[in-house]
A and B are shown apart, each in its own frame.
Chain A
Amino acid sequence: MRITTARRIAQVFFFVLFAWLCFVAAVGTRMWQWRGWPIRWFLELDPLVALGTVLSTRSLYPALSWALATIVLTILLGRVFCGWVCPLGSIHHFASWLAQRSVPLKRRIEANQYHPAQAIKYCLLAGMLAAAALPVGRMMLASLQTGLLDPIPLVNRSFNLAVLSVTDLAAGRWSGPGRLYSGAGLIGAIFIAVVLLNVAVPRFYCRFICPLGALLGVIGRSAPWGIGGQRTKCTECGVCDLNCAGACSPMGPIRASECLMCMNCLDDCPKGGQIAYGPRPASAGEIASPGISRRDFVISVAAGLAVAPLARLGGATAGDWPAGMIRPPGAVAEEEFLARCVKCSECVRVCPTNVLQPAGFSWGWEALWTPALNNRIGTSGCQANCIACGHACPTGAIRPLTLDEKLGRGGFEAAGPIRIGLAFVDRGRCLPWAMERPCIVCEETCPVSPKAIHLDEVELTTREGKAIHLQRPVVDPARCVGCGVCEHECPMSGLRAIRVTADNETRDPGHAVLLRFDIRPALKGRDS
């Protein structure tokens, strides 16, 4: 079997595995839904997720230890991950093959020549890692934005929120409830654009943009084994460039950090054996340096260091924190959240009610595609007995809670249940408050026991002179956990008459509305 056949089998295998893990990442009763599948495995393998969070939190989240295996593989063998494993790389590979089939050979060889702009990906990597490496602590500025371009979160997000959602609509909703995602159109459009770039230049994203490819290029640039040209009988015919995925000049001197280990050159060399896989460096020589100048590196790092503090000037992590942005239960406080979340959307996909959504631009661009609840979408609010999102999160931006911790029982009584927000009755829109009509759907559907919504009982005379008895909902902030079931069920389907904001969320004591109400009953005096 030719080595390129083995590579194609690996690519198909890992792509199918990736698609399957996305597909099963949904909590539900169907046999193909989440049944212990390692749904975040590709994210765990991703060294850029690991390195980014290590820089931003000075800590390796245990799940990300898998990335060490990828790093070891790359140290020994170069960018094998790009050429053999990466699902987005395989999509690009396939799209490039489709797009380039009918292109004349000469033009294909030209399209696969090394271009100095391939150094851009190293600039993007340096800038993003610099932003992630900003100080942590009281003035936490570290901003993890690698997920915007990191291919594994990108393809994960695109599949979870766009590809699978569209196929769900077409195929009769095999992922459980209907999937609607605000901003999924943009995510899908970016995915299509990224794939279409292969029409212009094969594996455009891998060569010019991919920060993970850049990282692996740096890690594997001096691998002991690799592709190399032999200078003995080479006629410099250039056919080795015909199908070269990385535009790495395999004839030599090879651009070692650009080589995707696709092995096409081994097959294509008409003389045979003029390009070989073996100990490095080969006799035709090589260029191990990634081709980014010192000046460009310094500029990229400086830009990365500047961008994150500039983003914080908006005050979204200070006094002007967005009250409408309700993070899922177990989410860490916002400064740390922005240092951990890689925007992979694994939590969004796994949420059984579809209430968890990718954020748009309205809460600051740092928060783009991070998870937040929208109680108007989905089948119900955040379910009391569900802890799926924290167990899907690869980086600990959402902690993996136990049900006991979420519900404040079994040793967590003193801390109380995890609150993600607080419901507020809009008395100008509520039927019994504003329009003298009975309702109390919110009170009935409140899942907390005793209920977080209680009732004011009043006797009224209507304009027709009829005496009526009304029950009006009142929220008890000491009990409400902000799950949003009431908001979802409120019959005012336009702007709901009861709405949740992130006030009183457990994850940030600075957002507390109440005193430590768990101990208030012990206080004496007129206030208690």
Chain B
Amino acid sequence: MNPSARGPEPLATRREFFRRGLSAGAAIAATGGIGAWLLDRHPPGDFGRTRSLDLRRDFSVRSAGPAMAIARGRDRPGMLRRALAAMGGIGRFIATGDRVMLKVNAAFATPALLGATTHPELLAELVRLCRAAGAASVVVTDNPINAPESCFELTGIGAAARSAGADLFIPGPGAFRAGTLPSGRLIRDWPVLYEPFAGVTKLIGVAPVKSHHRAGASMTMKNWYGLLGGRRNQFHQDIDGIIVELAMLVKPTLVVLDGTDSMMTNGPTGGSLADLKATSTLVVATDAVAADAFGATLLGRTFRDLPYLVRAGESGLGTTDFESLHPARVPAPAS
């Protein structure tokens, strides 16, 4: 028998009984209190519920000057500089201290020369111009289709961003928030890229001209698809609707449409140089609808062939009549 367990003296026993009675009472009170406090705090289904944010963002800059410039040539950085100069210089859009986000098209893990993604030379020049204009930070991001790290590395976008002084943001699952476009029918409680927007004051979209078998063409407006998370592929059931709603969700400072080489067939992935055609044009615009309406002509079409452009124009998100903006036309430099 365990000697330490020998019974205590009767008086001590009585004291112990009262001590136990008190602690039992305290335990019962605690049980009731905790039970009442926890009662149905999270009813069934509560954990799936998310507070949806209004994630509309307006980065547009209202200032006098051309709304669009069309540069010709083969040298992307040069065309970008000259187009921006024709619009009044990048200082018209980026001010000292601005925190700039560049939304590239990094959808596929393919090399830059196949034209499926934003060209790294163009991106690097844009980063440099933003920095030169006084931008405090530049972040480059996209939510790609192929493996994200591979996309940013194989396209050369990652290396270009880093060498030019930008940060790369590769979204993980925590980078998105449930967002709602108040007037929207599709973007409701949907995961939208959130984390890299913290502190951002200016937004520039940079995309190549590509044919797209579902949407008709993928240019600067379709590029905002990369802001969506979740199983966004279901939006292909209403591709025009989602492109229009994305245009309502984010209003960029600028868009840059790269038509140096346009993907005429096999879009949006391409995969062969035979899919590309040298169209030797680069557009910078404050109006993405106008930029894409012009871009359609590089694919041998008009905005009327692309229903999302028609709807965006009708909704007042921009003008499909890009000539009405009197775009500055910058010819290729004499070689």
Contact = CB atoms under 8 A, between A and B. Distances in A.
A283 to B, nearest CB: 4
Given A57-B42, A253-B1, A512-B234, A140 B47 contact: yes
Contact of B42 (A58, A224, A285, A508): A58
Interface string B165-205: 00000000110000000000110110000000000000000
B311 interface: yes
B8 interface: yes
B230 A520 contact: no
B186 A515 contact: yes
Contact of B31 (A71, A513, A514): A71
Interface in A36-56: 54
Contact of B44 (A396, A512, A514, A525): A396
Contacts of B44: 61, 332, 336, 340, 396-399
Interface residues of B, number: 48
Query: Which of B5, B7, B8, B234: most chain A Cβ within 10 A?
Result: B7
A223 B42 contact: no
Contact of B7 (A223, A284, A522): A284
B146 interface: no
Interface in B4-52: 5-8, 10, 13-14, 16-17, 20-21, 23-24, 27-28, 31-32, 35, 38-48
A450 B16 CA distance: 73
A384 B27 CA distance: 47
A509 interface: yes
A332 B38 contact: no
A285 B48 CA distance: 52
A61 B40 CA distance: 5
A280 interface: yes
Contact of A528 (B21, B24, B28, B238): B238
Contacts of A196: none
Contacts of B46: 59, 336
Given A54-B38, A283-B13, A509-B189, A224 B237 contact: no
Interface in A480-528: 507-510, 512-516, 519-520, 522-528
B24 A525 contact: no
A301 interface: no
A427 interface: no
B318 interface: no
The dominant DSSP class at the A interface is: loop
Contact of A520 (B14, B24, B189, B238): B238
A528 B241 contact: yes
A432 B28 CA distance: 68
B171 to A, nearest CB: 15
A335 to B, nearest CB: 7
Contact of A282 (B2, B7, B230): B7
B193 to A, nearest CB: 16
A477 B237 CA distance: 13
A160 interface: no
A370 to B, nearest CB: 15
Nearest to B23: A222
A333 interface: yes
Contacts of B231: 510, 512
A252 B5 CA distance: 9
Contacts of B311: 524-525
B239 interface: yes
Given A75-B24, A332-B48, A516 B188 contact: yes
Contact of A62 (B40, B186, B189): B40
Contacts of B134: none
A281 interface: yes
Contacts of B28: 72, 75-76
A258 interface: no
A68 B17 contact: no
A222 B5 contact: no
A272 interface: no
A224 B239 contact: no
Contacts of B188: 516
B287 interface: no
B307 interface: yes
Nearest to A137: B47
Given A253-B5, A332-B48, A520 B42 contact: no
B190 to A, nearest CB: 9
Interface string B307-327: 100010000000000000000
A178 to B, nearest CB: 31
17 contacts: A54-B38, A59-B40, A60-B35, A60-B39, A61-B44, A76-B24, A140-B47, A222-B20, A224-B17, A283-B7, A285-B2, A396-B43, A399-B44, A507-B45, A510-B230, A523-B185, A525-B241
Interface of B: 1-2, 5-8, 10, 13-14, 16-17, 20-21, 23-24, 27-28, 31-32, 35, 38-48, 173-174, 185-186, 188-189, 230-231, 234-235, 237-241, 307, 311
Interface of A: 54, 57-62, 65, 68, 71-72, 75-76, 136-138, 140, 222-224, 231, 252-253, 279-287, 332-333, 335-336, 339-340, 396-399, 507-510, 512-516, 519-520, 522-528
